[in-house]
Amino acid sequence: MNPNRTRRFRASRRVALSMLLVLAMLPLLAQSALAAFETQAKAAYVYDMATGTVLLEKNADEPLPPASMSKLMTLYMAFEALEDGRLQLDERLPVSEHAMSYRGSTMFLNTADRVKVEDLLRGIIVLSGNDATVVIAEALSPDGTEAGFARMMTERAKEMGLANSHFTNSNGWPQAGHRMSMRDLGILAERIIRDFPTFYPMFAEREFLFDGRAPQNVRNRNPLLGLGIGADGLKTGHTQEAGYGLVGSAKQGDRRIILVISGLPSQKARAEEAERIINWAFRQFVEKTVAKEGSKLADADVWMGDATRINLVAPEDLNILLPARKLKGGIDAVIEYRSPLEAPIAEGQKVAELVIERKDLPPARLALVSDREVARGGLVARLRAASSVLAGKLVEKARSLF
């Protein structure tokens, strides 16, 4: 009988802030840092891409009217179509009466136009053109209608894990049932940044003059661009029902922050709150390496293998987000795995997790892998394992991580 059971042991060591693992007081600091920040937005989601850490959530999973921020979904699907050849940047698309009928923010397109896809993309990203969005939607729709494309959007969103998104149009025009959550918008923003690095620079463009026909609508409404804080995307939104919102992103050094806010009362409030969140996210938290690639953090017993122990090592540099305040001390780190591990085990196979519990932040769960291959043992290994069980020698041992 295999005696495997979850092994969870704790090892702590108080270390200086400048040393490899800086963990003590982390829950207290995370709690105080987060508790000190309150957003005026009705709903918000703030995410650190480098470490996968959610820094702030407020009504983040509530389906809300996303206004023009939902154009990001249309853009994502347009980028997919460009990559698989269904669209070409220099392809010219016709403008339907339905597309031309939209008001609000537009490119002032008309049915005599045939517009390049590249211009339509900039018209959506920079000018938030409702008409441009529909032209793209109708071109990609299975039945040539915006409604048909909206159904595609909903289906694709589910495939991407956007659990609280439902689309009834392509551009966020107020309509019953058209909803997205702030978390979904944050996930979508991350996917755009990661999946389409070729197209993402368009989101940093501050001005787009199309054919000289819309002089009152030539500037990007993203209030973070040009502030010198690393902002380079993504999309604003506003309707009377939704209030003022923003999906924004900024990069400083190796860190990138994504923020999503909604329900602000004015453009000024949106601009001030977005900048305040970006400054808080970069100044109050720093990224630290807790283990270097290949470093041993613990060892573990192996069951029925041609070796009896393996080392648990970091498969890559393991990074975590920590409060920026410099305090001495450490925290208890926990390694979780099934003990003893059962052979066969491949070199580099994930066999354990380093878990760092952080109050008011999700636990940091960092994978640990085997440093060697362990084949299934023969008769000798089986006899040895049986003897160990009978002798009661399989005991848990707490070992220091460092």
Contacts of 178 (CB under 8 A, 6+ apart): 65, 66, 70, 166, 167, 168, 169, 172
Parallel/antiparallel/unpaired status of strands 350-358 and 341-342: unpaired
400 in catalytic set: no
Candidate list 42, 58, 70, 71, residue with the active-site label? 71
Candidate list 68, 96, 105, 170, residue with the active-site label? 68
Candidate list 70, 96, 105, 128, residue with the active-site label? 128
Type and span of the H or E element at 45? strand 43-48
Question: Which of 71-109 are b and which e, b meaning 16 or more Cβ less than 10 Å from the residue's Cβ?
Answer: bbbbbbbbbebbeeeebeeeeebebbebbbebebbbbbb
12 in catalytic set: no
68 in catalytic set: yes
Q: Which of 112, 110, 145 is nearest to 129 (CA)?
A: 110
Phi, psi of 217 (to 5 degrees): -140, 80
Q: Which of 239, 206, 222 is nearest to 122 (CA)?
A: 206
Half-sphere CA count of 366, side-chain side, radius 13 A: 26
Residues designated as active site = 68, 71, 128
